[in-house]
A and B are shown apart, each in its own frame.
Chain A
Amino acid sequence: MNFAIIFYILGSVIKIEGILMLFPAAVAGIYREMSGMWFLLCAAVCIATGFLMSRKRPENCAFYAKEGFIMVSLSWIVLGLIGALPFTLSGEIPFYIDALFEIISGFTTTGSSILTDVEALDHCMLFWRSFSHWIGGMGVLVFVLAILPLAGAQNMYLMRTESPGPTFGKLVPKLQQSALFLYTIYFVMSGIELLFLLAGRMPVFDAVCTVFGTAGTGGFGIKNTSIADYSPYLQAVITIFMFLFGVNFNFYFLIIIRRVKDAFRMEEVRWYFFIFSAAVLAIAVNLTSLSGHFISNLHHAAFQVSSVMTTTGFATADFNQWPVFSKTILVLTMFIGACAGSTGGGIKVSRSIIYIKSTARELSMLIHPRSVKVLKTDGKAIDDGVIRSAGAFLMCYVLVFAVSVLLVSLDGMDPSTTFTAVAATINNIGPGLEQVGPTANFSIFTPFSKLVLMFDMLAGRLEIFPMLLLFSPRTWKRH
């Protein structure tokens, strides 16, 4: 284990977090909010500390899978521990565990909140909450890699750990170029959404925070009613952009380099669109069979499916009141999640495709035991290592899920609340059902359960393995 490089990169991450804290401090200046001074103080300490830690590059810069996993886990934990300080120091969220829950929910782009009255927060605090989604969306470490002159193939381990999905293929040969491409697409799409929201007369502050929540598929709103109070036009814009941010970013890259046919042939994207469409239609029909107009129900169904499937978590309706069939569809899409290589969470559409094809192959081999079937996606054979890894991911996911439900159940909530609280956090969605539904929050849980749910948020965002490896003694051995 190369502790020196971990220390060095952690220092860079802390330094960057300090710089990022200057943005909410600037917002506090605009709105003349005294609580902004805590961001200035924290920024100064972070920049100084980070500078000292990363002042001298270690002689041995080599890091591989083990260092990559630990780097990522520790960085996200440190980001949360520091990021919570302005909330607590200012008194806006006085209990540190609550502040930690809120900011980890922000950085992991979950969007679960312990706040009852969101609108009571200062603008700078609301900004920091939403900004953490945008930062977390693409992964701070990918950002660090894009700008730090650490050359060599070692960076692949860090980027692979950070990037969501079962496979990570470089868009272009140079890793830093790949990261820059991803960031460019991310920034441009965020800018386009901002323009559409401003065109719909959304106030600037609201629009900026909404873009942060959409791009990062996080879902922290700045209103107590999330997106429900905004116009149908604005809700439609947000629906479309949530969907777009849930698409594999390779799709956009292929379009940019004019391989449009290849882009639309991407199996995962086609499945993503199909699942989305089917879910929206089924819910709209189900809602209309009971009450309301089809178009209005279609609008709300599209918003909620887009929100839940991409694991954003914005709401325009209290889907807790929907019929069981519609709620079940939403819960299923929670687990499927968005595409790999997007900012969305969940198990990912590409893994779901692998599971379905593997299962079909196994069933086929029961009948034809001597047959040889190669699993393919996008016309290419899926490597056995990828299939094995996807299987291991699912087992670890189920294990973490089961243990988390067991631990959170100690709070004595009803089964639906307990189950969906864990589902909402490990899939980085935000709201669940019943007492953690879209009109409620996570303040009902004890500090212990909040810690469990924070672990789930981090595990979900980092795709399970990095968080589990923290607990393995072999990980920490020097050699």
Chain B
Amino acid sequence: MKVTLDMTIEEIVKADSRAAGILADEGMNCVSCASASGESLKEAAEGHGVDPVMLLRKLNFRLNM
């Protein structure tokens, strides 16, 4: 699965549940957040002060393992 910046958090976690743990490592407890279905990965990352591109790299690396 290839994650992109415009995917919502809900879409990413539904596609691969391991994503929840990776997001939590970055302080983004998005699974329990009401914005999960509406916010894109880019928006969520920026909202939490996390570099979106770095987060995208981590997700794509780890979810491909």
**Residues of A bordering B, CB below 8 Å:** 116-117, 224-226, 228-229, 292, 300, 315-318, 321, 438-440
**What are 8 inter-chain pairs, A to B, with CB distance below 8 A?**
A224-B56, A226-B61, A300-B65, A316-B64, A318-B58, A321-B62, A439-B54, A439-B62
A-contact bits for B28-65, CB 8 A (1 contact / 0 none): 00000000000000000000000101101110111011
Identify A318's interface contact among B51, B56, B61, CB under 8 A: B61
Bound-state Cα–Cα, A438 to B60, Å: 12
Contact of A225 with B60 in the complex, beta carbons under 8 Å: yes
Bound-state Cα–Cα, A300 to B64, Å: 10
**Residues of B bordering A, CB below 8 Å:** 2, 51, 53-54, 56-58, 60-62, 64-65
Contact of B53 with A224 in the complex, beta carbons under 8 Å: yes
Interchain residue pairs A-B with the least CB separation, the first 10: A318-B61, A117-B53, A225-B60, A439-B58, A439-B57, A228-B64, A317-B65, A224-B57, A318-B62, A439-B61
Bound-state Cα–Cα, A117 to B56, Å: 10
Residue of B with least CB distance to A296: B65
Contact of B51 with A116 in the complex, beta carbons under 8 Å: yes
Contact of B65 with A318 in the complex, beta carbons under 8 Å: yes
Contact of A317 with B61 in the complex, beta carbons under 8 Å: yes
User: How near does chain B come to A241, taking the closest CB pair, in angstroms?
Assistant: 21
Contact of A224 with B65 in the complex, beta carbons under 8 Å: no
Question: Which of A116, A229, A321, A439 counts the most chain B CB atoms within 10 A?
Answer: A439
Residue of B with least CB distance to A321: B62
Bound-state Cα–Cα, A396 to B53, Å: 39
Q: Which residues in A have their C-beta under 8 angstroms from that of B2? A: 229
Contact of A225 with B61 in the complex, beta carbons under 8 Å: yes
Identify B54's interface contact among A116, A228, A300, A316, CB under 8 A: A116
Contact of A116 with B62 in the complex, beta carbons under 8 Å: no
